[in-house]
């Protein structure tokens, strides 16, 4: 969770609200593609883990400001709200999980479409498709979310990201 909060804080430090928001989303999408439990953990509560709860609340308090900064640039849809970020993460996570073994970078195409649609043409063309050499799975690592991760494995080209 600390890495996720740091991504939002870095985005808020960017003087360009749209570039910061886009960078945050790209980082969040990469984190969830590398760790299939990432999005699950973001949407869960761990009341017995006060550090996690603090970080989760911090993220929740920063995200509306990040979205508002992006909207004020005129490059993010005016009807986009911070709750839409969760929908984007869930959608991209679904693609990442479903294609993890056969096309591990397919999520990048979805993310590109999302960002281009939300921001009026961020990418001029879609990212390339993954190659066969990028399709070998590796075992996951974090013990805290092992039971979630045991349902899926990250591609060899990705590094596992710890949420703590």
- Kindly provide the b/e burial profile for residues 97-124, where b requires at least 16 CB atoms within 10 angstroms of the residue's own CB: bebbeebbbbbbbbbbebbeebbeebee
| pLDDT at res. 117 | 67
- Do residues 40 and 23 touch, judged by C-beta distance below 8 A? no
Which residue ranges of the chain lie beneath pLDDT 70? 117-164
| pLDDT at res. 153 | 47
For the domain bounded by 2-149, which CATH number is listed? 1.10.357
- Do residues 32 and 89 touch, judged by C-beta distance below 8 A? yes
pTM over 0.85: no
> 């609340």: which residue's tokens?
57
| pLDDT at res. 164 | 29
Q: What are the residue boundaries of the structural domains of the chain, listed by start? A: 2-149
| pLDDT at res. 134 | 40
| pLDDT at res. 132 | 41
| pLDDT at res. 16 | 97
| pLDDT at res. 118 | 57
| pLDDT at res. 90 | 87
- Do residues 9 and 64 touch, judged by C-beta distance below 8 A? no
Q: Phi then psi for 137, rounded to 5 degrees?
A: -75, 155
| pLDDT at res. 39 | 80
């Amino acid at each position: 969770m600390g890495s996720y909060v740091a991504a939002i804080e870095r985005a808020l430090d960017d003087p360009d609200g749209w570039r910061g928001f886009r960078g945050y989303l790209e980082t969040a999408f990469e984190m969830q593609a590398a760790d299939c439990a990432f999005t699950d953990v973001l949407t869960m509560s761990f009341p017995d883990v006060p550090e996690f709860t603090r970080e989760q609340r911090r993220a929740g308090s920063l995200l509306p400001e990040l979205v508002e900064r992006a909207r004020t640039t005129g490059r993010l849809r005016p009807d986009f709200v911070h709750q839409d970020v969760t929908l984007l993460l869930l959608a991209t996570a679904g693609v990442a999980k479903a294609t993890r073994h056969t096309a591990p970078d397919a999520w990048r195409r979805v993310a590109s479409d999302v960002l281009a649609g939300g921001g009026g043409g961020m990418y001029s063309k879609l990212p390339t498709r993954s190659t066969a050499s990028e399709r070998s799975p590796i075992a996951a690592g974090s013990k805290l979310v092992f039971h979630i991760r045991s349902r899926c494995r990250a591609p060899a080209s990705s590094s596992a990201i710890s949420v703590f």
